[in-house]
Chain A
Amino acid sequence: MLETYWQPVWLTLKLASLTTLVLLLVGTPIAWWLARSRHWLRQPIAAVVALPLVLPPTVLGFYLLLLLGPNGWVGQLTERLGLGLLPFTFEGLVVASVIYSLPFTVQPLQNAFESIREGFLETAATLRAGPWDRFFFVVIPLARNGFITASVLTFAHTIGEFGVILMIGGNIPGETKVLSVAIYDHVESLEYTQAHWLAAGMVAFSFIVLVTLYVLNGRARAGALR
Chain B
Amino acid sequence: MNPTAIEARFICRFPGFELDVDLKLPGNGITALFGHSGCGKTTLLRCIAGLQQAHGQLSVLGTPWQKDNLFRPVHQRPLAYVFQETHLFPHLSVRRNLTFGQRRVPAQDRQIRFDDAVSWLGLAHLLERMPARLSGGERQRVAIARAILTSPRLLLMDEPLSALDQSSKQEILPYLERLRDHLAIPMIYVSHSTSEVARLANHIVMMDNGHVIAQGPLQETLARVDQPFRLEEDAGVLVQATLDALDEPWHLARFSFDGGSLWLRQDPRFRHGDQARIQVLARDVSIALTEHRDQSIQNLLPARVDHVETDVTPGTTLVRLLAGNTPFLSRLTSRSAAQLALTPGQPVWLQIKSVALVD
Contacts and interface: CB of A to CB of B under 8 A. Distances in A.
B130 A126 contact: no
B133 to A, nearest CB: 7
Q: Which one of A127, A130, A142 has the highest number of Cβ atoms from chain B below 10 Å of its Cβ?
A: A127
Given A224-B132, A226-B132, A125 B74 contact: yes
Given A122-B74, A123-B81, A128 B104 contact: yes
Contacts of B146: 127
Given A224-B132, A226-B130, A226-B132, A125 B73 contact: yes
Nearest to A117: B87
Given A119-B85, A144-B91, A126 B74 contact: yes
A138 B75 CA distance: 14
Nearest to A137: B100
B87 A120 contact: yes
Nearest to B46: A122
A225 interface: yes
A225 B51 CA distance: 30
27 contacts: A117-B87, A119-B85, A122-B81, A122-B83, A122-B87, A123-B81, A123-B87, A124-B89, A125-B73, A125-B74, A126-B51, A126-B74, A126-B81, A127-B80, A127-B101, A127-B104, A127-B147, A128-B76, A128-B105, A129-B75, A129-B104, A130-B73, A130-B75, A133-B75, A141-B89, A224-B90, A224-B132
Interface string A131-163: 001000110011010000000000000000000
A225 B132 contact: yes
B79 interface: yes
Given A125-B74, A126-B74, A128-B75, A133 B83 contact: no
A29 B146 CA distance: 30
A126 B79 contact: yes
A87 to B, nearest CB: 44
B152 to A, nearest CB: 9
B80 A126 contact: yes
Contact of B87 (A119, A137, A144): A119
Interface string B133-158: 10000000000001100100000000
Contacts of A124: 89, 100
A125 B150 CA distance: 12
B49 interface: yes
A158 to B, nearest CB: 29
A133 B49 contact: no
A119 B132 contact: no
Interface of A: 117, 119-120, 122-130, 133, 137-138, 141-142, 144, 224-226
Would you list the 8 A-B pairs with minimal beta carbon distance, nearest first? A127-B101, A128-B104, A126-B81, A125-B74, A123-B87, A141-B91, A119-B87, A125-B75
A126 B87 CA distance: 12
Interface residues of B, number: 25
Main secondary structure of the interface of A (DSSP, over half): helix
Given A126-B49, A126-B74, A126-B80, A226 B90 contact: no
Contacts of A225: 132
A142 B75 CA distance: 20
Contacts of B74: 122, 125-126
B147 A126 contact: yes
A122 B79 CA distance: 13
Given A125-B73, A144-B91, 4 more contacts: A123-B81, A125-B75, A126-B49, A224-B90
A119 B100 contact: no
A128 B79 CA distance: 9
Given A120-B87, A120-B89, A142-B90, A133 B104 contact: yes
A104 B256 CA distance: 74
Given A141-B91, A142-B90, A127 B132 contact: no
A124 B87 CA distance: 9
B73 A123 contact: no
Contacts of B105: 128
A38 to B, nearest CB: 15
Nearest to A141: B91
Contacts of A127: 75, 80, 100-101, 104, 146-147, 150
Contact of A128 (B85, B101, B132): B101
A144 B92 CA distance: 13
A142 B88 CA distance: 12
Contact of B133 (A117, A120, A137, A226): A226
B51 A125 contact: yes
Interface string B197-224: 0000000000000000000000000000
B215 to A, nearest CB: 24
Contacts of B80: 126-127
Contacts of B133: 226
Given A122-B51, A225-B132, A128 B83 contact: no
A119 B75 CA distance: 14
Interface string B77-118: 001110101010111000000001100110000000000000
Contacts of A224: 90, 132
B81 to A, nearest CB: 4
A142 B91 contact: yes
Contacts of B150: 127-128
Contacts of B85: 119
